[in-house]
Structure 1
Amino acid sequence: MDKLLEIVTKAAEIVTNATTLLCPDLEENTQTLQRKIELLKSRKVDVQADLQNAGKKRKREVEDWLINVKKNITEFETLEQQIQCCRFYSRQKLAERVERMTKEVMELDEQSDFPGGLFLEVDESIGQLMLTPPHNGQAFLQNFDDIWASLMDDNILSIGIYGMGGVGKTTVAMHAHDNLLNEPKFSAHVYWITVSQEFSIHKLQSDIAQALKLDFSRRSDEKKRAAQLFQTFQKRGSFVLILDDVWKQIDAEKIGIPPRRDGCKLVITSRSKEVCHQMGCQRIIKVNTLSEQEAWELFLKKLGRDELHPEVEEICKKMVKRCGGLPLAFVTLAGSMRGVTDIHEWRDASEELKESCMGRADMENEVLPILLYSYNRLRDPKLRRCFLYCSLYPEDYPIRREELIENFISEELMDRRLSWRAENDQGHAILNQLERACLLERLLDGNVKMHDLIRDMALGITKHNRSYMVKAGLHIREIPDVQEWTEDLDKISLMVNSIEEISIGMSPNCPRLSTLILSQNPLKSIPNCFFTQMRGLHTLNLSGTSIQYLPHSISDLENLRTLLLRNCSSLKSVPTLEKLRLLTRLDLACTKIEELPDGVESLTNLKVLDLVGTSLSMIPTGVLHSLSLLQQLRLPIHIGVPIEEVLALKQLEDFCGSVNSVSDLNRLITFLQSMMPPSFYSIFLISKFCGHTLVERSRCKLVGFDQNSLMDSSLGEGKILLPRDIEELIFSTSGLRRSSLANGFQMLNNARYVKKCNVWYEDEIECIIRLSSTEEQQSCGVPFQSLEELSLYELPYFIGLFMWEGKAAVAPLLPGIFTQLTDLRIFGCNKMKKLIPWSLLQTLSNLQKLEVISCKEIEEIIGDEDDDGSPVINSSAEVTMPRLKKLRLVHLPELKSICKRMMVCDSIENIIIMSCTNLKKVPPLDGHPSPPPSLKEIKVYAEQREWWESLEWEHPNANNFLQPFVKFS
């Protein structure tokens, strides 16, 4: 036996030496790539922090960058494992992948500068935050014209916009911001910073640094921070800095804002004309209230009524008059009265509003009594509870709807329902009611937000009964003094601050405290005595902190229902949870725990368990079986689920995890689809050679396929049972031995609801669909009829989306294929020469985004011949792509033609053409006497300016009228 072991050891050593000789630099190059990946991770964290702390809609190129970064990070994790267990024959291929990935990562690092910022125009995102009417009314237009004239006047370098709270200062300033983004003289260097009432130099510097994409995380000295901001502004040349909601004078030099100089403008909005004077504004513009007629028209619009009963109309006009022309007041008032028809209720409402205003004469702002009245109109106590809960978040903070609803459920603010789906639906209904009452504002990305005045009103209510302590988003560095932690407190929010430690020995006496939120602080540790006098605590949120270990006193919080530790990236262990038998929600996602905490099996009331992104190596047998009430279960995708225990969870409604075999996959899908109501799920099929898949969980029905497992007989054989309602498919290094994806995976023909499909690293795929005779096609079904996004990455033998059987005639396309496709991305498909044949154009009539990157042999984007080589019959017809908004062509060395004929593309907004130097014409921009009406930007590599200037144009003035849109980056 010893001799055999010695032979095996020597054999392994010989193989290792041979593989090392074959690619001697593989390990060293992998280490280099790892360092670059770590730098990219850091940049990703910075970008995500900027996105999270702003209430704006991010640019699509930022979304794409994040997707590509995530893809590379996850691919590297897989690559590392494959290198560790690689065979002799694969070492060369792995070395090539390392070299390719290194180039990609370097390119992503270069792209992370994002000229013009991370966000779209404010009109598409932040503008939705305001409750005033969007860009209408004589008063609004007059204010905007005055502001715009001052911005265009080179002699005016500082502008003040003032007016009472709720009058619409922010809205008109945002409209100016929108227009400035398209003003060439400022080169998109337009920055929006919300200052707010709780102002500090340190916080304002941090907010400006985020807008400028500077990293201030390791720099605390305000003078050095100011110097860095000053230098960055100087390098930007012309810029506009808008400071919204300034309450008191700000020393611009202490912040790092350059003094007045040509091309640089400072704009502030404030409730005080005196503040505008103190800050030296050269032009001061007052935003006036609306006229009675404008106020009345807007009130009716928000009320959703064109005509009213004469007596109701008389009451309404009195109520509107009481609002004093303040848009926020009467819009909120209309929201609270929407749907009321009974005259008695109208009279009662009018009397109630009158008493509210009389009883609150001491309030600082005229609008607050009306907002308070709108709150009082919420007759349902759960609506009031949920509304007040929203005030725990910082001012101007975009709040995820899903997060709010999860908290409503955890905090027991709503009625109890039997299922998670029913409670989730109730949460959405509550948020919708608060939005309709204009007490919450919905952003375009689905988040919600409180107007600062409405939040002030909510905090005033909680201060009156002394139940809340809210110091969220104030950039405070120390925990409040123990004297502030009174016995009456119910909820405390200290989220989004700079608290690093809690003093040793601090033990607040808060026996009634139910909710403590310390999330998003750089908090590293908590003294053990801190929780000893908080035995009534129901919710503890430490998410996003730098906590390294938890105090053992947490184990004694026997009334705890919710423990949130998500994104505590330094946390490696959790003390025993055995006594926390009332716990219903435990979130340990994205921590570094390697083992489940002791006592988890005792949490028999647990409904939500999230372990995604942890370092767990296994789920101990019997643990899940004891958690019979689980409704939501999310497990790390690198370990297979204990299938029998999952199948025993009869209340499971939301699942994310991995299985080890096709048979387990089919059993799990059958189980989940049998649940009532139907489940949400993300299932990943993994193999022993691949520890990670290339997708992350999303709240939709999703299955990720890593079909390496299908090639491994030890993992089980059989046909995959594709869920009938699947929305997203991912194929990655599957070893699929068919040239057509749809033909090789027949179940796709019945996947009618698939909206997204990604195909990565498939060595055999030549096309997506192979077409034959019409009869054969109809017998096979129609795949991809609902597909909206298709992404193809590094398919070495890919020729085109469609291939036809035989060359005699082109088989007609079945109706419905790809007709819903809006996004098409193709990367690294080096054998493809033509992307879209003429006959496919009608099918792609809904295409909005087309990206072709690093395809070495592609010569045409839209061909002038069909795939059988026959010329198009109507050769004079122009090409129309009615919905195309973005065209991105990068690193296509053989590309000679986008389209050989005139192209109509009036919807085009962004064109990016880089390293396509054989291209002579750009048809979407040519052939017309003016640029396309939607055009915003043309981006070209700076070193390829000469190529751009050498392009040929059909229209003689094309180069001139396109010049303002061209940006060399």
Structure 2
Amino acid sequence: MIEELSDLQLQASDNWCDFYNKLQAGKSNGKLLEIVTNAAEIVTKAATLLCPDFEENTQTLQRKIELLKSRKVDVQADLQNAGKKRKRAVEDWLINVENNITEFETLEQEIQCSRFYSRQKLAERVERMTKEVMELDEQSDFPGGLFLEVDESIGQLMLTPSHNGQAFLQNFDDIWASLMDDNILSIGIYGMGGVGKTTLAMHAHDNLLNEPKFLGHVYWITVSQEFSIHKLQSDIAQALKLDFSCGSEEKKMAAQLFQTFQKMESFVLILDDVWKQIDAEKIGIPPRRDGCKLVITSRSKEVCYRMGCQKIIKVNTLSKQEAWELFLKKFGRDELHPEVEEICKKMVKRCGGLPLALVTLAGSMRGVTDIHEWRDASEELKQSCMGRADMENEVLPILLYSYDRMRDPKLQHCFLYCSLYPEDYPIGREELIKNFISEELMDRRLSWRAENDQGHAILNQLERACLLERDWDGYVKMHDLIRDMALGITKHNHRYMVKTGRHLREIPDVQEWTEDLDKISLMKNSIKEISIGMSPNCPRLSTLILSQNPLKSIPDCFFTQMRGLRTLNLSETSIQYLPHSISDLENLKTLLLKHCYSLKSVPTLEKLRLLTRLDLAYTKIEELPDGVESLTNLKVLDLVGTSLSMIPTGILHSLSLLQKLRLPIDIGVPIEDVLALKQLEDFCGSVNSVSDLNRLITFLQSMTQPSFYSIFLISKFVEQSYLAESRSKLVCFEHQSLMDSSLGEGKILLPRDIEELIFSGSGLRMVSLADGFLMLNNARYIKKCNVYREGEIECIIRLPSTEEQQSRGVSFQSLEGLSLFELPNFIDLFMWEGKGAVAPLLPGIFTQLTDLLIYRCNKMKKFIPWSLLQTLPNLQKLEVISCKEIEEIIGDEDDDGSPIINSSAEVTMPRLKVLKLEDLPKLKSICKGMMICDSIENIIMTRCTNLKKVAPLDGQPSPPPSLKEIRADAKEKEWWESLEWEHPNAINFLQPFVKFVPSWPYSF
């Protein structure tokens, strides 16, 4: 099949090429008709072979889109008729629906123009869109209705869990009334673990962000059981975006925090999970004064009293009915078989009305249908809860039961491994999965990609079972009670010693290092040294984690009685030299030294023949450790950011099992060695020539497994931090690497699945970026493009005519992000030769573009003409920075100087969320027409003092519904107050959103 398709591709390409040449020559004859006919037959046959269900699937998607449009009309009608404040989820749903409708319209155009070799990608898009549309259809039920019962913040929302019940609403009303009462300055919220204190406080936090009374000065700090004054001060400073100028002395830090709070007219500080009395003044929190409130949550009523809370609110457990409703909601079904319902109610009763227990129980039982399994589960839970008399501990048996219900040992082992991290610590999913692989906690798979997929599946299962919770994108965390349960299990069965995040200054006494220990984690402490002569007797110890400590040295004898050690993590320490005893750890499989910036050398690794993962990224080593060529089982080698000057030829060739290889990007890779790595799936490094680049890309595309890659052509000055954990598929040309005049059209290969392309001083001798793309094969589907310091680039596309553009085939239809940096001759996004009417662009060009950054392009005078604004229908983020000549963002004149817009014309940017304008001394206008931009969330304007009007905010009787924040330079308050507004009260209703910040760059 593959060979047949390959032949078809060759035939089709030849026929279309012949057709094109004949057409250009004007030789339309019978032979030409024959060529076209042959090509059409080949295309049809190939398209059918590649995607036999393509037409049917596209029609199915079209039907679903039409149904979604109808549902959208119904929802909008309901919203208009009611006049209440709609839920944020409803707003997001409408935006997502509109995006899908727009994308489908673009997709239809692409299908009509598609050739057989692009249909496979189109088929994948159809499949993806069908899933998205089905999900949107399912979401359109909106449990609880379209409108808010309690006003939700449209500001910087935290991930507030859903909540139900009269008890929750009553507690929230009490908290909110206290927050609005000027006589109550401190509030305590207490209740047993898992009862929902944090959820209530989160909901209050979210609503306060949109409360004008506090001007957005609402700060959330998680305290936890293991806290210190210094850590709490640092966390508060981070929330305040405050850099301590006084050093790390606690008294001076307290004074600086005190001064910062005193400058605020009002604020709310929420301290979550307080275990014991905190001296507020010692931290730097001002004593009670009007407009400033302190909120704490604690398991102890006594703590609330001792901290002087004026209002103390107890969070009670749920009523029987509320508990049942919450269970059903999390279980995902409203109706149950009568016998199953009876069993469920008994199980729910054992949860004692604790939300955490109910949610966890529902997660563990999701998907169970057999009545026998239900009865068995009920008996298990009954046995688990026996002997528990007090309510505080009653939640732990429920959690333990949910752990036991997993059955699968690999799920249990992976779950317990998460307890090695500190309390309330956001754990990166990618980091966790790498550790699951290194620790051999999962089933073995043939490829790194397959193991990575398995890791994500396991984390998803743990999330669905509510034993892990998603913190933010790419991170998970454990509820402190669930972590307590996990650590309780490890004390009896798996023998962990976990002392993390406690600010320990010394390593635990040798007596605590017992012979039966399996894993030890001391990460994120303040341990600077290990006593000379300390040699713990831990023959069974398999994992030792000392990362994130200021550890400078380890005595040579420390590892002599740890011969069973398989994982050693010393990442992010201050260690300079490793003890020679590491060379004798012959069972070691993972050695992690990432971000050990002081590490200059590593002892011989010759005996560590079982090693599968070696991470030396961002260390100061100048030579590869002795014995690396002996590591024939090595699968992961990371050397990014090191001081290596070369990779000796032949070294990599001996590491035939490598799946992931990351090399310093300022030295050329021995290309023959890399081409010998037949298991390679993830590569980062540089090549010395276009020839080497083409060979490497051909090699990567021949691999059976999909790959990640970051490839640099002749890299010398790139910032290596850019690649710290890049998961993009990118290629970068820089340092005059494209100066060769022999480089013709399509001479440089790019991978078929490339996502990001970078030009950085590469010597592009092109007026337009599109012309530069013509040298590159497979550039059509790039999602992100960054262009740095390219002296000859004047525009993105130069168009003598639409026909020429069409023939050259540069469409930018998949581009989502475009960044232009320091282009001294850049004039405009689009340029046409000659004068006269502007020719229309090809349909679909830039329709996927969401992010656009223009920096130091000092010949630009306007960003885009109004007539071409529809070219960017999905633009969400626009940043224009340090462009000294720019006068307009949306131009009101055509290239020939004729006006095309007046003050009454409407200019719509339907999806713009972020507008950032910085250091534009000649900017006079964002837009002279009436700008409609209801989606705007953040606006930042600094050093734009010639600007008189802020178009996205002008002419409106109220702020845009999605507006979160307006930032301006603290030195430019007078300019802000001098701005002109169509609406007389605009300056007043916008004031709560305005923040004046110091004169340094900010990003959203």
TM over 0.5: yes
| Whole-angstrom distance in 1 between the partners of 2:666 and 2:380 | 60
Is 2:504 aligned against 1:476?
Answer: yes
Q: Which moved more, 1:625-634 or 1:689-698?
A: 689-698
Structure 2 unaligned spans of 5+? 1-151, 998-1004
- Specify the code of the residue in structure 2 equivalent to 1:294: E
Residue by residue over 1:47-104, the C-alpha shift from the partner in whole angstroms, topping out at 9 and shown as x without a partner, is: xxxxxxxxxxxxxxxxxxxxxxxxxxxxxxxxxxxxxxxxxxxxxxxxxxxxxxxxxx
| Whole-angstrom distance in 2 between the partners of 1:436 and 1:667 | 44
Q: How does 1:511-526 map to 2 (within 5 A)?
A: 511-526=539-554
Secondary structure, counterpart of 2:828 in structure 1 = coil
2:124 is aligned to none
Mark the CA change 1:785 to 1:693 in structure 2 (over 3 Å): closer, same or farther.
Answer: farther
Shift, 1:707, TM fit: 5.3
1:501 is aligned to 529
Do 1:748 and 1:783's aligned partners in 2 also have CA atoms closer than 8 Å?
A: no
| Whole-angstrom distance in 1 between the partners of 2:991 and 2:284 | 34
Q: Which moved more, 1:927-936 or 1:202-211?
A: 202-211
Do 1:662 and 1:716's aligned partners in 2 also have CA atoms closer than 8 Å?
A: no
Is 2:606 aligned against 1:578?
Answer: yes
1:49 is aligned to none
| Whole-angstrom distance in 1 between the partners of 2:708 and 2:494 | 40
- Specify the code of the residue in structure 2 equivalent to 1:780: R
Q: How does 1:728-767 map to 2 (within 5 A)?
A: 728-747=756-775, 750-767=778-795
Is 2:490 aligned against 1:462?
Answer: yes
1:87 is aligned to none
1:140 is aligned to 168
> Which of 322, 332, 336 is the matching residue for 1:294?
322
Mark the CA change 1:359 to 1:660 in structure 2 (over 3 Å): closer, same or farther.
Answer: farther
Q: CA RMSD in A?
A: 2.5
Is 2:428 aligned against 1:400?
Answer: yes
Secondary structure, counterpart of 2:273 in structure 1 = strand
Do 2:866 and 2:901's aligned partners in 1 also have CA atoms closer than 8 Å?
A: no
Mark the CA change 1:196 to 1:876 in structure 2 (over 3 Å): closer, same or farther.
Answer: closer
Q: Which moved more, 1:144-153 or 1:193-202?
A: 193-202
Secondary structure, counterpart of 1:801 in structure 2 = strand
Shift, 1:658, TM fit: 0.4
| Whole-angstrom distance in 2 between the partners of 1:650 and 1:149 | 66
2:159 is aligned to 127
2:955 is aligned to 927
1:673 is aligned to 701
- Specify the code of the residue in structure 2 equivalent to 1:696: L
1:177 is aligned to 205
Do 1:661 and 1:716's aligned partners in 2 also have CA atoms closer than 8 Å?
A: no
Is 2:672 aligned against 1:615?
Answer: no
- Specify the code of the residue in structure 1 equivalent to 2:883: C
Secondary structure, counterpart of 1:709 in structure 2 = coil
Shift, 1:340, TM fit: 1.3
| Whole-angstrom distance in 1 between the partners of 2:579 and 2:244 | 30
Shift, 1:695, TM fit: 4.3
Mark the CA change 1:468 to 1:598 in structure 2 (over 3 Å): closer, same or farther.
Answer: same
Shift, 1:926, TM fit: 1.7
Shift, 1:438, TM fit: 0.7
Mark the CA change 1:206 to 1:506 in structure 2 (over 3 Å): closer, same or farther.
Answer: farther
Is 2:336 aligned against 1:325?
Answer: no
TM-score relative to the length of structure 2: 0.81
Is 2:696 aligned against 1:696?
Answer: no
Shift, 1:737, TM fit: 1.3
Secondary structure, counterpart of 1:743 in structure 2 = helix
| Whole-angstrom distance in 1 between the partners of 2:496 and 2:377 | 29
2:946 is aligned to 918
Do 2:892 and 2:928's aligned partners in 1 also have CA atoms closer than 8 Å?
A: yes
1:411 is aligned to 439
Residue by residue over 1:853-897, the C-alpha shift from the partner in whole angstroms, topping out at 9 and shown as x without a partner, is: 111221211122344545448995411111111111122222222
Is 2:183 aligned against 1:151?
Answer: no
Is 2:306 aligned against 1:275?
Answer: no
Mark the CA change 1:256 to 1:962 in structure 2 (over 3 Å): closer, same or farther.
Answer: closer
- Specify the code of the residue in structure 2 equivalent to 1:127: L
Shift, 1:799, TM fit: 1.4
Shift, 1:576, TM fit: 0.6
Is 2:860 aligned against 1:832?
Answer: yes
Structure 1 unaligned spans of 5+? 1-119
Secondary structure, counterpart of 2:169 in structure 1 = helix
Shift, 1:691, TM fit: 6.9
Q: Quote the sequence identity (%).
A: 87
Do 2:209 and 2:218's aligned partners in 1 also have CA atoms closer than 8 Å?
A: yes
| Whole-angstrom distance in 1 between the partners of 2:869 and 2:371 | 58
Q: Which moved more, 1:356-365 or 1:250-259?
A: 356-365
1:786 is aligned to 814
2:982 is aligned to 954
- Specify the code of the residue in structure 1 equivalent to 2:560: T
> Which of 400, 406, 410 is the matching residue for 1:378?
406
Mark the CA change 1:927 to 1:211 in structure 2 (over 3 Å): closer, same or farther.
Answer: closer
Shift, 1:547, TM fit: 0.4
| Whole-angstrom distance in 2 between the partners of 1:715 and 1:909 | 45
Mark the CA change 1:713 to 1:619 in structure 2 (over 3 Å): closer, same or farther.
Answer: farther
1:797 is aligned to 825
- Specify the code of the residue in structure 2 equivalent to 1:704: C
Shift, 1:804, TM fit: 1.8
Residue by residue over 1:365-417, the C-alpha shift from the partner in whole angstroms, topping out at 9 and shown as x without a partner, is: 22111111100011111000000000000000000111000000000001111
Q: How does 1:86-485 map to 2 (within 5 A)?
A: 126-127=158-159, 133-212=161-240, 222-236=250-264, 238-358=266-386, 364-465=392-493, 467-485=495-513
Shift, 1:734, TM fit: 1.8
Residue by residue over 1:529-548, the C-alpha shift from the partner in whole angstroms, topping out at 9 and shown as x without a partner, is: 11000000000000000001
- Specify the code of the residue in structure 2 equivalent to 1:932: P
| Whole-angstrom distance in 2 between the partners of 1:661 and 1:674 | 20
Mark the CA change 1:631 to 1:323 in structure 2 (over 3 Å): closer, same or farther.
Answer: same
| Whole-angstrom distance in 2 between the partners of 1:195 and 1:182 | 24
Aligned length: 845
Shift, 1:191, TM fit: 2.7
Q: Which moved more, 1:586-595 or 1:854-863?
A: 854-863
Shift, 1:217, TM fit: 11
Shift, 1:358, TM fit: 1.3
Shift, 1:743, TM fit: 1.6
| Whole-angstrom distance in 1 between the partners of 2:385 and 2:653 | 58
1:98 is aligned to none
| Whole-angstrom distance in 1 between the partners of 2:164 and 2:471 | 20
Shift, 1:655, TM fit: 0.4
Shift, 1:193, TM fit: 2.1
Residue by residue over 1:525-568, the C-alpha shift from the partner in whole angstroms, topping out at 9 and shown as x without a partner, is: 00111100000000000000000111110011010000000000
Do 1:725 and 1:751's aligned partners in 2 also have CA atoms closer than 8 Å?
A: no
Do 2:901 and 2:928's aligned partners in 1 also have CA atoms closer than 8 Å?
A: no
Do 1:662 and 1:717's aligned partners in 2 also have CA atoms closer than 8 Å?
A: no
Do 1:750 and 1:783's aligned partners in 2 also have CA atoms closer than 8 Å?
A: no
Shift, 1:715, TM fit: 12
Q: Which moved more, 1:674-683 or 1:457-466?
A: 457-466
| Whole-angstrom distance in 1 between the partners of 2:893 and 2:744 | 46
| Whole-angstrom distance in 1 between the partners of 2:872 and 2:155 | 29
Q: Which moved more, 1:133-142 or 1:715-724?
A: 715-724
Secondary structure, counterpart of 1:246 in structure 2 = coil
Residue by residue over 1:14-55, the C-alpha shift from the partner in whole angstroms, topping out at 9 and shown as x without a partner, is: xxxxxxxxxxxxxxxxxxxxxxxxxxxxxxxxxxxxxxxxxx
Q: Which moved more, 1:409-418 or 1:937-946?
A: 937-946
Q: How does 1:769-918 map to 2 (within 5 A)?
A: 769-872=797-900, 877-918=905-946
Mark the CA change 1:590 to 1:195 in structure 2 (over 3 Å): closer, same or farther.
Answer: same
Do 1:547 and 1:568's aligned partners in 2 also have CA atoms closer than 8 Å?
A: yes
Secondary structure, counterpart of 1:516 in structure 2 = strand
Shift, 1:292, TM fit: 2.8
| Whole-angstrom distance in 2 between the partners of 1:227 and 1:216 | 10
Shift, 1:135, TM fit: 4.8
Relative contact order, CA 8 A, sep 6+: which one is greater? 1
Shift, 1:206, TM fit: 4.0
Residue by residue over 1:200-223, the C-alpha shift from the partner in whole angstroms, topping out at 9 and shown as x without a partner, is: 444434433444456679966544
